[in-house]
Amino acid sequence: MSEENEGTRELETGKGKEPKNENVGSIIRDVDYLWQWFLENEGIGGSLTATDRRRLVGVGVRNNGFIDKAFDIALENPQFMPPHFDVGTLTANMRDIEDLRQLLWTLQQFVQAVSNALLVHSDSAYRDALRIYRSLQEQTTNRVDGAEPLFRALVTFFSRRRKPANEEPTEVELERDIKRLIHGKGDGEIVIKNERPHMVGGVHEVIDNVHKDKTAFKGEVEGSVTE
Neighbours of 162 (CB within 10 A): 7
Is the distance from CB of 168 to CB of 206 less than 8 angstroms? yes
Using left for φ > 0, alpha for ψ between -120 and 50, and beta otherwise, residue 16 falls in: left
Query: For the chain, how far is it from start to end, CA to CA, in angstroms?
Result: 39
127-156 pLDDT, tens digit per residue, is 999 999 999 999 999 999 999 999 999 998
Helix (H) or strand (E) holding 173: helix 171-182
pLDDT in the model for residue 187: 76
- Global pTM reads 0.58
pLDDT in the model for residue 163: 62
166-212 pLDDT, tens digit per residue, is 667 778 878 888 888 887 777 777 777 766 665 555 555 666 665 65
Average pLDDT over residues 98-120: 94
Least confident span in 36-50, 58-72, 85-99, 186-200: 186-200
